[in-house]
Amino acid sequence: MTNGIPPLGFGTFGRSGTAGIDALLFALETGYRHLDTAQSYGTEWECGEAFRRSGLPRSEVFLTTKITGDNSRKGKLIESLQRSNETIGVDAVDLTLIHWPVSPGGRLPMDEYLSELAKAQDTGLTRLIGVSNFTIADIEEAETILGPDCLATNQFERHPLLRNQKLVDACASHRIAVTCYLPLARGRCAGIPAIEAVARAHDATPHQIALAVSLCEGHIVIPTSGEPARIAQNYAAGDITLSSDELDAIRAADRNERQINPIWSPAWD
């Protein structure tokens, strides 16, 4: 279940400047049709520029941005999203996420920023809305504020070494699509015997298998790379179909090994 979000997206953290535009353009030429940026990444302009250079119609490229903690404050969210749209060079993005439920300066009232986010959607600044790094308690609280079926996705860390299954199941029960960030565990899936064995059987790399697992389970992945060969290799993971035995073997490799855990993180499930 992806709620209309293209399942194979391209992450843009670190893809700034000329090298970033080159990587983004190569990703679009390879076939990616979903770019994941954020106000805090400094890559919103690069996404717009790569999109323009690609010559693709606007309807074919799905653009996501994320609202920073400071911009989540009342009176700032809508203005900041207008600025993001201007920076990217579009009238509206396809998806806007609240980047973290807890801002670096302390917790913000959820009803305040979610109401603003819903208003941004109503006024046409974003087609879909969602959240990122929300826990089960957070998505339950969000649903009491917005009502059911308002959040398109929750984006959080997920890869074979951190399957985050309780949260994945909770999202499914609320019909919220799962977007897996760090889907390659930043390269740490290499050398894991269960993943390597499946990779050999498919003449694939362990990184491709890491992506294929979440894709076969029906989730969205947003890997990134600055290397054309890897950008293409990651895209080709979308063609790999894993058997239920292979999926079970890789599921057993879960180590609950989290890599993104800043000081403002919520109490993870």
Sign of CA dihedral 92, 97, 108, 100: negative
**Residue number with CB closer to ligand NAP (98 or 216):** 98
Do 1 and 172 meet the contact criterion of CB atoms below 8 Å apart?
yes
Considering the complex, what minimum distance in angstroms separates the CB of residue 211 from ligand NAP?
A: 9
Number of other CB atoms surrounding residue 247 within 10 Å = 15
Among all residues, whose Cβ is closest to ligand NAP? 11
Considering the complex, what minimum distance in angstroms separates the CB of residue 213 from ligand NAP?
A: 13
Q: Interface residues with ligand NAP (CB under 6 A)?
A: 11-13, 36, 99, 132-133, 155, 181-187, 207, 222-227, 230, 233-234, 260
**Residue number with CB closer to ligand NAP (84 or 225):** 225
E strands present in the chain: 10-11, 34-36, 62-67, 93-98, 102-103, 106-107, 126-132, 151-157, 177-181, 220-221
Considering the complex, what minimum distance in angstroms separates the CB of residue 59 from ligand NAP?
A: 22
**Residue number with CB closer to ligand NAP (87 or 225):** 225
Which active-site residues does the annotation give?
41
Direct distance between the N- and C-terminal alpha carbons of the chain, in angstroms, rounded to an integer? 22
**Which residue is listed with tokens 């059911």?**
148
**Residue number with CB closer to ligand NAP (73 or 207):** 207
Nearest to 118 by CA among 108, 133, 128: 128
Considering the complex, what minimum distance in angstroms separates the CB of residue 186 from ligand NAP?
A: 4
Sorted by sequence, the CB contacts under 8 Å of residue 9 that are 6+ apart come out as 32, 34, 35, 36, 62, 64, 179, 220, 221, 222
**Residue number with CB closer to ligand NAP (120 or 199):** 199
Q: Kindly report the three-state secondary structure assignment for every residue of 196-234.
A: HHHHHHCCCCHHHHHHHHHHHCCCEECCCCCCHHHHHHH
Considering the complex, what minimum distance in angstroms separates the CB of residue 21 from ligand NAP?
A: 15
